[in-house]
Structure formats: C-alpha cells, structure tokens
C-alpha cells in the first residue's frame, strides 16, 4: 500500500519508514503539513498531530476536503488528543505514541479494509451481491432471502457484509472484531459469537454461517 507519512520527528520517521517498508508498504515521508498537502498518489495517510508549521488537525481537515483517503492520526500521550474531535475532522483512527509497529500495521490493515468496504464500486455500483438465495445490498444496507427482506441491526448487517466479502472463506474472531467493531475494541470475542447467533436466527437457517472450530466463521449458502 502507498502510505504518506507526515512526521517531523526524524527518529520516529526513520523507524516507521524502515518498519512499514519491511511490512510491504511503500512510504513517502514528509516532515511538514505543507509538505503533506503538496503530495499526491497515496492510499493512506499517517499524520502526526504536532507538526512544526501547521496543526495536524488543520492538515487533517484539509486532506479530508480533498478526498476520502483514510487518515490515521499519530498522537503523543501529552497531546490529549480528543478522539471524537479527531473523528469529526475526518480521521479514521488514531494511535498514541509510543506504539508498536505491529499495532500500527494492524490499524492500517483495519482502516484500509473498512475504507474498501465503504467505497462505491466494491460491489455497490454493480448492485446487490447474490449469495445463493440471499441478496445483499451494501448501498441500501438491505438483505433479502428468497425475496423477503430480513431486518438486521447495523452491527448484524456489518458482520454479514464483512463475511460476504469473501464467501466460503474462514474469518477469525479477531479479524471480525477488527473490521466490524472499532479498532480500539479489545473486549472478549464472545461479542462476535453473540452477534453470529442473532444473525443466524434472523437468516432463518443456521447453515448460513458455519462455525469452524477453533478458527472462526464462514458464510455459505445452505445446501
């Protein structure tokens, strides 16, 4: 993935460029807000909140005006970053320094996955997705089975849409939590099981969502 790293601290930037490159990303590094606004052609932004020339919040707002490219804010613990404000500015997520490379890579993956899910064109433009007798419409967030509409809660729909991204593939509880729930949510994976149970009940046939013992769940039309 092509990343734009906006970070004025040279040692943090060097470490991130090295680590993210090793993780398979292509990283363009700039040290100022003005530098960030001059860049093009990246797929995700890692944006330091405290920059020498501009407030990271203003940079975030400006970037968001231009495109829907995902933004992850990098904040120092002392900066008391307001998560709600950050999200209002259009940031998709944030990590607090010091963070591990592993944590950042996981956030990048979760945020980019959510961005793809929400993008027009990932199945939306081409209309509803058909899975056996099920019709799943991401644009209208409607699900029909054999023509009958199934009333789902927002989370049940998100869970179903996530599983439907790769029909037949097994998704682990952790993957499901990361994608369907907030990236900061580290609660018990029982939540996933509870939502799978209610979703199965509404779909009318438990066979729609198969439990793969010790691994996770997969979506498949009942045979």
Residues in 128-187 at the binding interface with Ca ion, rule: CB under 5 A: none
Q: How far is the CB of 151 from Ca ion (least distance, A)?
A: 47
Complex with Ca ion: residue 13 or 196, whichever CB lies closer: 13
**What are the distances in angstroms from CA 3 to CA 28, 48, 93, 183?**
6, 13, 15, 19
Q: How far is the CB of 68 from Ca ion (least distance, A)?
A: 25
Complex with Ca ion: residue 48 or 156, whichever CB lies closer: 48
Pairing of strands 148-150, 142-145: antiparallel
Complex with Ca ion: residue 48 or 158, whichever CB lies closer: 48
Q: How far is the CB of 51 from Ca ion (least distance, A)?
A: 6
CB 14 within 8 A of CB 20: no
Residues in 39-78 at the binding interface with Ca ion, rule: CB under 5 A: 48, 50
Give the binding-site size for Ca ion (rule: CB under 5 A).
Answer: 3
- Alpha carbons 134 and 87: distance in angstroms, whole number: 34
- Alpha carbons 63 and 60: distance in angstroms, whole number: 5
Q: How many helices (H) and strands (E) does the chain have?
A: 8, 12
- With binding defined as CB under 5 A, does residue 220 bind Ca ion? no
Pattern 5-34, Ca ion, x by CB under 5 A: ---x--------------------------
The string of DSSP letters for 95-152 reads EEES--HHHHHHHHHHHHHHHHHHSTTSSSTT-PEEETTEEEETTTTEEEETTEEE--
Complex with Ca ion: residue 8 or 137, whichever CB lies closer: 8
Name the closest residue to Ca ion (Cβ). Answer: 50
Complex with Ca ion: residue 97 or 173, whichever CB lies closer: 97
- Maximal CA-CA distance, the chain: 61
Q: Enumerate binding residues for Ca ion (CB under 5 A).
A: 8, 48, 50
């Amino acid at each position: 993935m092509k990343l734009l790293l906006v970070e004025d601290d040279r040692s943090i930037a060097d470490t991130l460029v090295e680590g993210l490159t090793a993780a398979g990303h292509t990283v363009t590094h700039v040290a100022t807000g003005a530098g960030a606004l001059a860049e093009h052609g990246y797929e995700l932004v890692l944006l330091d909140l405290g920059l020498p020339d501009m407030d990271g919040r203003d940079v975030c707002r400006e970037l968001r005006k231009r495109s829907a490219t995902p933004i992850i804010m990098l904040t120092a613990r002392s900066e008391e970053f307001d998560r709600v404000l950050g999200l209002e500015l259009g940031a998709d997520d944030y990590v607090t320094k010091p963070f591990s490379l592993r944590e950042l890579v996981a956030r990048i993956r979760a945020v980019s996955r959510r961005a793809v899910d929400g993008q027009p064109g990932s199945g939306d433009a081409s209309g509803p997705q058909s899975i056996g007798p099920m019709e799943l419409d991401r644009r209208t967030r409607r699900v029909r089975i054999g023509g009958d509409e199934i009333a789902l809660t927002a989370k049940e729909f998100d869970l179903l849409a996530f599983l439907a991204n790769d029909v037949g593939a097994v998704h682990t509880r952790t993957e499901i939590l990361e994608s369907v729930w907030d990236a900061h949510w580290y609660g018990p994976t029982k939540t996933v099981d509870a939502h799978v149970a209610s979703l199965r009940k509404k779909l009318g046939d438990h066979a729609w969502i198969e439990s793969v013992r010790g691994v996770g769940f997969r979506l498949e039309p009942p045979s």
